[in-house]
Amino acid sequence: MNYGVTSRKGFYLDLFYVIFFDYLILLIGFYAFTSTVEYFFKELLGVFGITKYILWDMQDVSFLIQFLVVFLLLDLLQFFGHFLFYRIDLLWKFHKIHPAQEELGFAFTRHFHWAEYLTFKPLLYLPFMTLNFSVSEFIAIYLWVGYGFTFFSHCNVRVPWKWMNYLLITPETHYWHHAKNRPEGRRYAVNFASTTTIWDHLFGLFYLPQEDTLSPDLGIDDQKNIPHTFIGQMIHPFKELFDTQKKKHSPQSVKKLKKK
């Protein structure tokens, strides 16, 4: 029986991304990648003679404080990292395969480039290392605090979430994050947070129009250039980087630089 959910454009590719990231990468390799980041960060600190890296031992505080600190810190890190992926051109080349979709759906949640996943996510561990959390504890925190919720925010449901929109990232607020036409005066996008809207409110990036008739089209400006296959999407950012470098070093641009 077709409910219309599976007939969404790109549904099966998105489902493949879920299996690829959640099973082949996250469950099998995330631990090793995060441990590798931890090892090299400790080595780097050692170069500067820093051996004590625990700033606040969270193991000594109550569960409630631990939960609040961990929840808000992870949400802030994800918010800030997400913003940087829009703000820095190099990062945007990798991230844009995620917002380059015209329809949202729960399976769309994991539609990312592997390079983004395997560099950004393990780096999130470093602040938790200074709070005396081990890699396995961090992964557990990440899975329970920051992971499942994103499936909900990408759901294709038309339900008025009312007051919840101002506290949590709902499908309604996240829909505006993926809007092709940004609201007036917004240079990058809106609603960057993953779980709560606290950081969006604090940094003035929260946006939710009162009238539902303003529902936007989804996608990005250069939508047509993004391939529709998994391999194509994995190669695309590298191809763009290569093309940019090629343009930079072309005889015409060298001549222009010399004239300046």
Partner 1 sequence: MSLVEVFSSSYEPYKVYFKYMLHHRAWDNPLYVIPAICLLTFLLEVFLPKK
Closest CA to 113 of 141, 133, 90: 90
Instruction: By CB under 8 A, tell whether 45 contacts partner 1.
Output: no
Region near partner 1 per CB under 8 A, out of 63-71, 150-158, 179-187, 222-230: 150-158
Least Å distance between CB 260 and partner 1? 40
Closest CA to 123 of 161, 62, 80: 80
Instruction: CB nearer to partner 1: give 161 or 230.
Output: 161
Instruction: By CB under 8 A, tell whether 250 contacts partner 1.
Output: no
The 3-state DSSP class for residue 227 equals coil
The DSSP secondary-structure symbol of 188 reads S
Instruction: By CB under 8 A, tell whether 136 contacts partner 1.
Output: yes
Instruction: By CB under 8 A, tell whether 124 contacts partner 1.
Output: no
Region near partner 1 per CB under 8 A, out of 47-55, 82-90, 144-152, 185-193: 144-152
Distances (CA, A) of 146 to 38, 86, 136, 142, 143: 20, 20, 15, 5, 6
Per-residue binding string, partner 1, 160-189, x by CB under 8 A, is ---------------x--------------
Tokens of 74: 């992870």
B/e letters for 4-33, b = 16+ CB within 10 Å, e = fewer, are eeeebebbebbbebbebbeeebbeeebeeb
Instruction: By CB under 8 A, tell whether 31 contacts partner 1.
Output: yes
Q: How far is it, in rounded angstroms, from Cα 17 to Cα 20?
A: 5
6 neighbors 102 (Cβ within 8 angstroms): no
Report the residue from 94, 106, 112, 176 that binds partner 1 according to the rule CB under 8 A: 106
Region near partner 1 per CB under 8 A, out of 46-54, 86-94, 156-164, 182-190: 156-164
| Interacting residues with partner 1 (CB under 8 A) | 3-5, 18, 22-23, 26-29, 31-36, 39-40, 104-107, 136, 140, 143, 147-148, 151-152, 154-159, 175, 215
